[in-house]
Amino acid sequence: MATPLDLHIPPSTSIVNVSIIDTGTVIKGLPTNIFVQPEIPGHENLAAPSFVFLIQHPTQNRTLLFDLGIRKDWKNWANPAYESFFNRGITIVAPKDVRETLDEHGVDAKNIEAVVWSHSHFDHIGDVSTLEPSTKIVIGSGTKADVFPGFPANPNSSFNESDVAGHEVEELDFSQSPLQVGGLNAVDYFGDGSFYLLDTPGHCIGHICGLARVTSNPDSFILMGGDAVHHGGELRPHPWHPLPEAILPNPFDVVSHMPCPGELFEKFLPNGKELPFYTPGPIHYNIPEMVETIKRLQEADAHNNILIIPAHDVAFLNVADFFPKTANAFMEKGWGPKVRWAWLADFAKAVGQDEKIPRELFGDYRPVAAADKA
């Protein structure tokens, strides 16, 4: 296994508190081969939750949201988003807007200074009009020219012009920041090393990730991945986490003490045990840029004190503590090893293993465990 690279994250004792908000969204019927390739038999469709992050700075008393998920009244999307999505036969359950979840748990939305859009696609931008007018929108480089001011003034936009009316829009200019973190251009949002926004191009114009320091001495970080990857097999294996000979937890039986043999999956690897199963598919804006972004994420993933959470990773539903709890203690609770290879369960049919419980209701989803078979 290769030695992890120095990511040159500036030292700091400042942290933020991060909560993962499970929005309750379920997206079903996503064709796998438009997001990742090649197609692996039995994994023709993706089902996805949609995660949002609440970021609270404990000493500066400042609050952010990273992404907003899918708006509850999704039929009020801008026309291009609605038509292109449902022409593919995709279905959505979106029970509530993020603002409702925050209100239910006593978070004063008036204190939310900004919502950071990882990117401008409809399943991440939510409905900004549900937030206070004082909440600004932070976007990646090039986003304003691409999709603002919104539909119908911009017929290519995936949000309504009325949704963002009255909100300040701040576009990041990474060229004006001398900082790089893990080989990615970065902006130190709070100015104290507690939360960085990272330029992670490829999936679409202006895609960004968030890197939050959630403990210090020792340091640990949560990397909010947005759509930099859509499946764990697009990120792993890599030189720092090659496909193990014995995989625990067993992705097909999470309560078993018997590991899953890694050799089951080797025939689907493109070239040895140190390259991901998947490469980006045709839906992405700039595939070569996305491949380079994934390489940088792999360098971060090499560090056990960095937890990468893509916006649609089903595996976290079985493992993480969700809002109103915080995720700061992820290392202590061992989340990283638990989710690292959990997505291999998607290859059950391909390797002749037992089917998983269907993902129709994500709250009940888990791989079939020994106790269920008894």
Written as six digits, the tokens of 356 are 């998983």
Task: Please list the residues that pair with 261 across neighbouring strands.
Answer: 246
3-state class of 67 per DSSP?
coil
Average pLDDT of the chain to the nearest whole number: 91
Q: How much is the pLDDT for 367?
A: 38
List C-alpha distances in Å: 143 to 36, 108, 257, 277. Answer: 24, 28, 48, 30
Whether the predicted model's global pTM rises above the 0.85 cut: yes
Q: How are strands ordered across the β-sheet holding 169-171? A: 17-22, 51-57, 62-66, 112-116, 136-139, 169-171
Per-residue confidence at 355, pLDDT binned at 50, 70, 90? low
Separation of alpha carbons 204 and 211, rounded Å = 19
> Residue 298, exposed/middle/buried by CB under 10 A (0-12, 13-18, 19+)?
buried
Query: Which range, of 68-72, 153-157, 214-218, 357-361, averages the lowest pLDDT?
Result: 357-361
Q: What is the pLDDT of residues 160-171, one digit of tens each?
A: 999 999 999 999
CA distance 267 to 99: 46
Domains of the chain: 17-373 (3.60.15.10)
Which residue reads 């890599």 in tokens? 238
- C-alpha 311/C-alpha 333 separation (Å) is 20
Q: Other C-beta atoms within 10 Å of 138: how many?
A: 22
Q: Please give the pLDDT value at position 143.
A: 97
Looking at residues 103-117, what average pLDDT do you find? 96
Q: How far apart are CA 200 and CA 185, in angstroms?
A: 8
Tens digit of pLDDT for each residue in 60-109?
999 999 999 999 998 888 877 677 667 777 888 899 999 999 999 999 99
Q: pLDDT, tens digit, for every residue of 20-50?
A: 999 999 888 889 999 999 999 999 998 889 9
> How far, in Å, CA of 332 to CA of 22, rounded?
21
Indicate the pLDDT class of residue 185, thresholds 50, 70 and 90.
Answer: very high
Average pLDDT (155-183) is: 94
Which residue has 């937030």 as its token pair? 131
Asked if residue 308 has pLDDT above 80, the reply is: yes
Q: Provide the pLDDT for residue 293.
A: 98
Measured CA to CA, the distance from residue 161 to residue 291 in angstroms comes to: 32
